Chain A
């Protein structure tokens, strides 16, 4: 039986602590913040009366993209949330992208800390918005969509409570985390397989090594898409949650 030794999970997703509690993940997260904000500060200092080009052009495209998401999910009332959603999108995207940049090769969102923190932040935001917009009516609106028969109220209330309060942030965090971790693990697996087959010194091994290498290239290209898509989905779901807290419930809340 041929066995391939897979490195310990701790080895794949963790590095030496440079400082107590300050490791490579933290560096990537800080870099994402610095790059993202400096991009927007540079763009903001350009003359708004001239035709946009370069950095400002890029930034305007991203802002219009986010505004499009908000218009589709919350509506016109939600446009005041553009800066928040923009920060989410940029930060998550810049944390995802290092997963495919050579040498770094680690998406910062493949550790639970960052997705969990972002999801809890979204949880506080949409509950806060709900209480602000609908006062205490938010509680009843959250538990019972309009038109529920009285006999069904305990059951529906329980399901909606679990779905809205517990499952939403959990699923939001798990989605981002597991997607990035899965991509990272796939890259590691195929890289190890290629390395082993090529360095085995066997002629068949070298010929067979082309297959996992091709797969590695394909997954790297796929990760470019996934990194963007996960940032997009996180943003859109945050918008949907805020939208469902804002509306006085004409449509039933999105369930899991």
Chain B
């Protein structure tokens, strides 16, 4: 594997165009897929912290449920990531 920083020559054939569009699509796919789950996870974690601060003795139960909620929310972002890998690389 030879990774190099250098000038990338611009030579656009049909295949290059397709690859470029796929790369752009991949970037958008992951970026858009991350918005919703990002808000969702923030909401879940924030509410869980609120609940724990109010009732520290229930912290264990709240934490379990919080991880469950995060896991379900995160799945959407991760599907976006898989699409990103499939399209982009």
Q: Is B39 an interface residue (CB 8 A)?
A: no
Number of interface residues of A (CB under 8 A): 35
Choose from B5, B60, B67, B79 the contact partner of A196 (Cβ within 8 Å). B5
Query: Which residues on the B side are within 8 Å of A68 (C-beta)?
Result: 60
Query: Which residues on the B side are within 8 Å of A256 (C-beta)?
Result: 72, 75
Q: Is B20 an interface residue (CB 8 A)?
A: no
Given known pairs A3-B5, A178-B79, the reply for A237 and B71 (CB within 8 Å) is yes
B interface footprint on A1-24 (CB within 8 Å = 1, 0 otherwise): 111111111010000000000000
Number of A-B contacts (CB under 8 A): 71
B67 to chain A, nearest CB (A): 6
Choose from A192, A196, A233 the contact partner of B71 (Cβ within 8 Å). A233
Q: Is the CB–CB distance between B5 and A174 below 8 Å?
A: no
A110 to B71, CA, bound (A): 17
Query: Which residues on the A side are within 8 Å of B75 (C-beta)?
Result: 171, 174-175, 256
Given known pairs A5-B2, A200-B5, the reply for A178 and B81 (CB within 8 Å) is yes
Query: Which residues on the A side are within 8 Å of B89 (C-beta)?
Result: 6, 8-9
Q: Is the CB–CB distance between A2 and B5 below 8 Å?
A: yes
B interface residues (Cβ-Cβ under 8 A, vs A):
1-8, 60-61, 64, 67-68, 71-72, 74-75, 78-79, 81-82, 85, 89
Q: List 22 A-B contacts (CB under 8 A).
A: A1-B8, A3-B6, A4-B3, A4-B5, A6-B89, A7-B3, A9-B85, A175-B71, A178-B78, A178-B81, A179-B78, A181-B81, A181-B85, A182-B78, A192-B3, A196-B3, A233-B71, A236-B67, A236-B68, A237-B68, A254-B72, A256-B75
User: Considering the complex of A and B, which 3 residue pairs feature the smallest CB-CB distances, nearest first?
Assistant: A178-B78, A3-B8, A9-B89
